[in-house]
Amino acid sequence: GENVEQHPSTLSVQEGDSAVIKCTYSDSASNYFPWYKQELGKRPQLIIDIRSNVGEKKDQRIAVTLNKTAKHFSLHITETQPEDSAVYFCAASRGNTGFQKLVFGTGTRLLVSP
């Protein structure tokens, strides 16, 4: 089955710096790669996702890149702000809407210091 590894487990940056979180997956049939942000005491929420037919996707200060050959994908946050502090989870799944097994990484705790 799918296995998703995520690094680093914790990441501390200064406000304004960039942050990069990396994930690798094992199932070459996986074709959907979302990223979730979980603030303290709240539920995880989707911030960006990418499908296997795309190499990069951007949404304002966040971007995700995908390397299918190497089976890894990364989250990039530029100009970090204190409100970016949270736990970030990557995930991978195969299949489309009718059958979707979504497997998560172990999470990265991002701390942005003012």
Partner 1 sequence: DVKVTQSSRYLVKRTGEKVFLECVQDMDHENMFWYRQDPGLGLRLIYFSYDVKMKEKGDIPEGYSVSREKKERFSLILESASTNQTSMYLCASSFQEAFFGQGTRLTVV
Contact status: 12 vs partner 1 (CB under 8 A): no
- Closest of 104, 100, 114 to residue 34, by C-alpha: 104
Q: Show the binding pattern over residues 46-75: x = contacts partner 1 (CB under 8 A), - = does not.
A: x--x--------------------------
Decide: is 44 part of the binding site for partner 1 (CB under 8 A): yes
What does DSSP assign to residue 93? B
- Tell me how far, at minimum, the Cβ of 38 lies from partner 1, in Å: 9
Does residue 9 bind partner 1 (CB under 8 A)?
yes
> Distance of CA 35 to CAs 23, 32, 82, 86, Å?
10, 10, 19, 12
Under rule CB under 8 A, residue 18 binds partner 1:
no
Backbone angles phi, psi at 28, to 5 degrees: -65, -15
Q: Are strands 19-25 and 72-77 parallel, antiparallel or unpaired?
A: antiparallel
Binding interface with partner 1 (CB under 8 A):
1, 6, 9, 32, 34, 36, 43-46, 49, 89, 91, 96-107
